Structure 1
């Protein structure tokens, strides 16, 4: 099946934007004391954008680059959240040295002309809704 060239080009551009957003998020995290353990970590459940550690916290971080912070906060649906939690559990299970750390699922939103927004515990059951942050 032949696809229009614009579609392929759009996918490549989105991929580049995603990689830049992840690099910016990783830099921001490092500047705030986090150690990046993995980028684009692959598991059977899917890919984790960033895995980082600070103190006793092991954070699995989904990075979203959007035109607005609001759009970034709304970009992760219920199915994707469940997939990220499964992927984080699988990744952590392969690392016995990290078993004692407290896992957490975070969201980083990258938007033009804004500081990166790091939402800690974004996918935890007891976390406030992301809409509450808007």
Structure 2
């Protein structure tokens, strides 16, 4: 697969940041507290770290034209990287939380975001 040029990379980065902002507002409206965004670890990056009551939630955001393409973008290798990053971050953000999980928010043009809860079973 060909690497995107710098203009395409910037465009994709803007699209991703916009989708993460939409996802964060959507989660806030559902009662989540956003703890951090775009957190990098040696294991990978977490788009959004949020809390809801006693749960620590690591959220992957996917922006695609259709829901099907967004779902297919959640491939197992990427989810394993998110799981590894969540293990690194859980002690940092999880004080007082009894559960952790990995969710996804799918963002598409002209549609409401879709929140998928517990998309990956963590082995913590």
| TM-score, scaled to structure 2 | 0.90
Does the Cα contact within 8 Å between 2:56 and 2:93 map onto a contact in 1? no
Equivalent residue number for residue 112 of structure 1: 109
Distance, in Å, in 2 between the alignment partners of 1:76 and 1:95 is 24
Equivalent residue number for residue 120 of structure 2: 123
Distance, in Å, in 1 between the alignment partners of 2:28 and 2:93 is 21
Equivalent residue number for residue 70 of structure 2: 72
How far off its partner does 1:96 sit? 6.0
Cα deviation digits, residues 25-62 of structure 1 (max 9, x gap): 00000011000001001111011000000111111000
Equivalent residue number for residue 42 of structure 1: 40
Q: Write out the 4+ residue segments of structure 1 that deviate beyond 3 Å after TM superposition.
A: none
Distance, in Å, in 1 between the alignment partners of 2:87 and 2:115 is 21
Tell me if 1:97 matches 2:95: yes
Structure with the greater alpha carbon radius of gyration: 1
Distance, in Å, in 1 between the alignment partners of 2:49 and 2:93 is 12
Structure 1, unaligned runs of 5 or more: 1-5, 126-134
Count of aligned pairs? 119
How far off its partner does 1:102 sit? 0.5
1:55-66 matches, within 5 Å, as 55-66=53-64
**Secondary structure, aligned partner of 2:51:** strand
| Distance change >3 Å, CA 115–CA 95, structure 1 → 2 | closer
Structure 2, unaligned runs of 5 or more: none
| Distance change >3 Å, CA 36–CA 92, structure 1 → 2 | same
Distance, in Å, in 2 between the alignment partners of 1:33 and 1:102 is 17
RMSD: 1.4
Cα deviation digits, residues 89-119 of structure 1 (max 9, x gap): 1001234624x33101001100111110000
